[in-house]
Amino acid sequence: MLVTLLIAPFVLIATIQSADQTAMTTNLDRAPKRKAAWLSLLANAPNNQKEAVRYILTYMPLADLRALPPKYVSDAIKVAYTARAASSWAKQIPKPIFFDSVVPYASVTEPRESMRAEFQRKYLPLAKLASTPGEAALAVNKTLFKEYKVVYDTHRLRTDQSSKETAAQGMATCTGLSIMLVEALRAVGVPARLAGIPNWPKGGGNHTWVEVWDQGTWHFVGAAEPDDHGLDHAWFGEQAKTAVADKPENAIYAVTYKNGGARFPLAWLPGESTAAENVTNRYKVDAAVKGPTLAVDVKVAGERVISEVQICDVAVGNQCISGKSSGPHDDINKHFAINAKLGKIYKITVIYKGKNFIRTVKVKGDTVMRIDLDKT
């Protein structure tokens, strides 16, 4: 009986290793012409990195199996292990999290043009000053886009830009910004992954952001949108509470390298999807929706401008809420908005360059008032 108990754990380990080997071989068999090159990468990898190489090869997408140079993968893994050894918090990241959200060389469908080694040289010293992955993520997010002079702009080349494309243009939309932040965070050892929603339930299209693993769980952060309150604070936080877990177009997903049990529909490639977890319920505080929102978008010559905005309930003149409209480098779905009451009439006052522009609107549902100041 004692012999059986001693042998059983070794049998279990051997069974798991055999299953892992079979899964990797099955994946490599999809690209038979490249199989030898990938197996050579595994054979020549340092012993402490072989497990990570095997993980990457087991779940690598077919397009990368067929075209990606093995050195591209080995370089990414080398950067990941350098970062893992650089700080106490990085060394403590569990292997499953490390393999799925630090080691992988890409996020989604972006061109395979790595900036990982450059990001590590620039930001690893900054990350090492942090006491947690979350602190490191906040520091990099606050610095990265300023140093590369990158802003949100819908005139970017494509949605799923690589970091190199984003840095070269100095602009990206939410997906490109998030891809860049994920690459920079992984370069310094912070587990990071893309998250997003194909379409907001109340309208406004898709949105993409970044999830960061910290203190044993996942947290969200807006790429190029650092918030002084830290993680889990962003303009889209309230909207995320309205997501619907069982509606693929209105659910929130976090991208995984390994099959996460769900598929994230890619807004920029209709009909295509990527491996993900459905994480909707983590964003929902409760199922209650506060009611319709009244948002204001101010433009001059077709471009969004920052202006003072005041929204008043007409029936109660002294009940007003003031704020600022979003500018040209804010996410297109970000607006100055209030929780309104159905059927109420509101007066909107826009103050721009010393002039007042007034509009009234009756709220019949979620409303975005688009005010073109040069058309008044």
Angle between helices 174-187 and 70-84 (to 10 degrees): 60
- As a whole number of angstroms, the distance between CA 58 and CA 75 comes to 18
Q: What are 71-111's pLDDT values in tens digits?
A: 999 999 999 999 999 999 999 999 999 999 999 999 999 99
On average, the pLDDT of the chain sits at: 90
* Domains parsed from the chain with CATH numbers: 21-68 (no CATH), 88-283 (3.10.620), 293-375 (2.60.40.10)
pLDDT in the model for residue 4 = 54
pLDDT above 70: residue 274: yes
* Residue 53 token pair: 């190489």
- Which residues lie below 8 Å from residue 154, measured CB to CB, with a gap of 6+? 173, 332
- 291 band by pLDDT with thresholds 50, 70 and 90: low
Q: What are 300-339's pLDDT values in tens digits?
A: 888 888 988 888 888 876 678 888 888 888 877 778 887 8
pLDDT in the model for residue 347 = 87
Cβ burial 187-211 (10 Å sphere, 16+ → b, else e) = bbbbbbbbbbbbbbbeebebbbbbb
- Mean pLDDT, rounded, for 281-287: 73
CA 296 from chain centre, in angstroms, equals 26
The sign of the torsion formed by the CA atoms of 187, 189, 190, 195 equals positive
Q: What are 196-253's pLDDT values in tens digits?
A: 999 998 777 899 999 999 989 999 999 999 998 999 999 999 889 999 999 999 999 9
pLDDT in the model for residue 285 = 63
* Residue 130 token pair: 């942090």
pLDDT in the model for residue 287 = 41
pLDDT above 50: residue 56: yes
Q: What are 114-152's pLDDT values in tens digits?
A: 999 999 999 999 999 999 999 999 999 999 999 999 999
Instruction: Classify 286 as helix, strand or coil.
Output: coil
What percent of the chain has a predicted confidence (pLDDT) above 70?
92
Q: How far is CA 170 from CA 110, 145, 251, in A?
A: 17, 9, 30
In SS3 terms, 65-118 reads as HHHCCHHHHHHHHHHHHHHHCCCHHHHCCCHHHHHHHCCCCCCCCCCCCCCHHH
In the sheet that 217-221 helps form, which strands lie side by side, from edge to edge?
217-221, 207-214, 192-197, 253-255, 273-278, 262-265
- As a whole number of angstroms, the distance between CA 221 and CA 230 comes to 8
pLDDT above 60: residue 16: no
Phi, psi of 57 (to 5 degrees): -70, -30
- As a whole number of angstroms, the distance between CA 360 and CA 345 comes to 7
